[in-house]
């Protein structure tokens, strides 16, 4: 962690007075430390090294861009996630109502919309266009996967005279945004590239919480209850629920803690075996059914990938590894095992993925989306670039894209979250 660069790229020195009124401004040097424990702090103090620190988000008294001459653009890329429209709405209204930026473009279908040959026309975003969009899931801009040529995209930005580009998307999107930022820098242009990290899996480094995650956790409740009802409704009923979580099992872990009907929680961070080996799922399942006649299993999509050893690795357009489907695999293996053991099992399979990621966000999750959006605009206006808006220790922060995408955040199986999960799952519960 020590060598990690947490300094934010800037387009230049802000020199224009902010038009914001009746507000207080964050100082540019303001920073929060990334460490929590007194022990970690003490180590740094002894070593005379500086604490790693994250720049605070918020409006600055002096801004870099003159709002009256600014054209902003927003795009959404990758899979759906609750809150996308909230973020689009928040950015649009903050730009238009607080900074009086005259034009905000919505770029259709992600980075595709910046490639002229596809022929997509930007839409004009204003108070009317975005008025009710937060009530709907999905994204009014449309989305797409995959990398596009940053040179052509920068050409488009220049041609359209866009000086702020807000990219809402996951790892792949942010890396592509970083390429755009590098190209902008290479050409010496003044275009701020601001990312808003979208990962329903909550797995971004230096960011303790991502938008949509909370909504996803709430939404798992219904499907897990359905799985439990089906499990109880049949002899030796098993409800098998396949949840999102390619590399990190946060959704599955939280879903397990939020709904006490879950008996097994399988995540990428903790391996398990089917019959022989560490944590053998099938015999434990049988023992629970013999004791309680029903069970619910939650499995994250990235769990148990080592069971497929030897298979080819495939990737999607965004470069994400395409996993073997552990849900359907377990379904098959449980059926085979039941046959082998001559033990009746009635399994029902649930895969709610699209139904969850296409929900709108509400409540504290919607508040979070709005604040991310407001801070993204403040960052862009201040001339920050090649960064994402993050959240750490109850504060909004700026994180360089390379730091945010350096590695996936994962559940610490020796930490308090997994300790809680372990203590409420089988055996015992």
Distance of CA 268 to the CA centre of its chain: 17
Instruction: Work out the end-to-end distance of the chain between its first and last CA atoms, rounded to an integer number of angstroms.
Output: 38
Question: Of 5-13, 38-46, 150-158, 174-182, which segment contacts its own copies by CB under 8 A?
Answer: 38-46
Tokens of 204: 């971004």
Nearest C-alpha neighbor of 18 from the set 380, 418, 404: 380
SS3 label, residue 228 = helix
Give min distance, CB of 333 to its own copies, in A: 20
Q: Are 135 and 88 a contacting pair, CB within 8 Å? A: no
Nearest C-alpha neighbor of 349 from the set 184, 223, 193: 223
Taking the C-alpha atoms of residue 409 and residue 209, their distance in angstroms, rounded to an integer, is 11
**Contact code string over 372-401 relative to its own copies, x by CB under 8 A:** --x------------------xxxx-----
Q: How many CB atoms lie within 10 A of CB 30?
A: 16
Interacting positions 148-207 with its own copies (CB under 8 A): none
Active site residue 131: no
For its own copies, the closer of residues 89 and 398 by Cβ is 89
Give min distance, CB of 399 to its own copies, in A: 16
Would you count residue 18 as binding its own copies (CB under 8 A)?
A: no
Would you count residue 225 as binding its own copies (CB under 8 A)?
A: yes
Taking the C-alpha atoms of residue 226 and residue 184, their distance in angstroms, rounded to an integer, is 50
**Contact code string over 264-303 relative to its own copies, x by CB under 8 A:** ----------------------------------------
Q: Annotated catalytic residue: which of 179, 201, 365, 386?
A: 201
Interacting positions 229-258 with its own copies (CB under 8 A): 229-230, 232-235, 254, 257-258
Question: Of 153-161, 264-272, 359-367, 402-410, which segment contacts its own copies by CB under 8 A?
Answer: 359-367
Question: Of 191-199, 270-278, 333-341, 368-376, which segment contacts its own copies by CB under 8 A?
Answer: 368-376
Total residues at interface with its own copies (CB under 8 A): 91
For its own copies, the closer of residues 134 and 286 by Cβ is 134
Among 222, 290, 306, 341, binds its own copies (CB under 8 A): 222
Among 75, 104, 366, 388, binds its own copies (CB under 8 A): 366
The DSSP result for 372-427, as a single string, is: HHHHHHHHHHTTEESEEEEEETTEEEEEEHHHHTSSB----TTSHHHHHHHHTSSS
Would you count residue 260 as binding its own copies (CB under 8 A)?
A: yes
Taking the C-alpha atoms of residue 241 and residue 90, their distance in angstroms, rounded to an integer, is 34
SS3 label, residue 386 = coil
Give min distance, CB of 135 to its own copies, in A: 7
Taking the C-alpha atoms of residue 172 and residue 198, their distance in angstroms, rounded to an integer, is 10
Would you count residue 214 as binding its own copies (CB under 8 A)?
A: yes
Q: Are 219 and 356 a contacting pair, CB within 8 Å? A: yes
Would you count residue 259 as binding its own copies (CB under 8 A)?
A: yes
Give min distance, CB of 382 to its own copies, in A: 15
Q: Are 258 and 298 a contacting pair, CB within 8 Å? A: no
For its own copies, the closer of residues 166 and 213 by Cβ is 213
Calculate the alpha carbon distances from 382 to 64, 68, 161, 166, 379 in Å.
5, 14, 18, 14, 5
Q: How many CB atoms lie within 10 A of CB 233?
A: 12
For its own copies, the closer of residues 355 and 406 by Cβ is 355
Which residues are catalytic, by number? 201
């Amino acid at each position: 962690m020590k060598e990690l660069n947490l300094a934010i790229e800037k387009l230049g020195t802000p020199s224009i007075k902010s038009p914001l009124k009746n507000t207080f401004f964050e100082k540019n040097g303001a920073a929060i430390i990334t460490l929590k424990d007194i022990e970690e702090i003490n180590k740094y103090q002894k070593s005379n090294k500086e604490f790693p620190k994250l720049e605070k988000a918020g409006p600055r008294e002096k801004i870099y861009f003159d709002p009256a001459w600014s054209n902003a653009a927003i795009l959404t890329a990758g899979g759906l996630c609750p809150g996308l429209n909230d973020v689009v709405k928040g950015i649009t209204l903050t730009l238009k109502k607080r900074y009086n930026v005259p034009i905000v473009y919505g770029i259709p279908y992600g980075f595709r919309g910046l490639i002229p040959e596809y022929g997509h026309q930007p839409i004009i975003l204003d108070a009317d266009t975005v008025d009710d969009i937060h009530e709907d899931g999905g994204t009014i801009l449309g989305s797409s996967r995959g990398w596009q040529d940053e040179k052509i995209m920068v050409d488009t930005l220049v041609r359209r005279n866009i000086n702020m580009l807000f990219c809402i998307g996951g790892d792949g999107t942010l890396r592509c945004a970083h390429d755009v930022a590098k190209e902008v820098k290479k050409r010496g242009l003044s275009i701020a590239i601001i990312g808003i990290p979208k990962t329903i899996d909550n797995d971004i480094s230096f960011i303790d919480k991502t938008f949509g995650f909370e909504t996803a956790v709430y939404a798992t409740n219904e499907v897990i209850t359905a799985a439990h009802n089906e499990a109880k409704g049949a002899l030796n009923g098993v409800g098998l629920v396949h949840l999102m979580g390619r590399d990190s099992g946060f959704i599955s872990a939280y879903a397990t803690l939020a709904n006490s009907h879950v008996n097994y929680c399988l995540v990428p961070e903790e391996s398990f075996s089917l019959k022989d080996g560490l944590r053998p799922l099938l015999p434990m399942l049988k023992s629970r059914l013999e004791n309680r006649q029903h069970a619910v299993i939650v499995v994250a999509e990235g769990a148990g990938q080592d069971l497929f050893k030897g298979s080819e690795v495939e990737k999607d357009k965004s470069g994400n590894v395409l996993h073997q489907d552990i849900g359907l695999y377990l379904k098959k293996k449980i059926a085979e095992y039941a046959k082998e053991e001559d033990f009746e099992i009635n399994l029902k399979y649930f895969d709610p993925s699209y139904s969850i990621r296409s929900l709108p966000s509400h409540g504290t999750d919607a508040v979070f989306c709005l604040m991310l959006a407001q801070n993204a605009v403040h960052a862009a206006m201040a001339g920050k670039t090649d960064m994402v808006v993050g959240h750490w220790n109850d504060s909004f922060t700026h994180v360089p894209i390379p730091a945010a995408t350096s590695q996936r955040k994962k559940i610490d199986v020796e930490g308090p979250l997994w300790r809680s999960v372990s203590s409420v799952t089988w055996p015992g519960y």
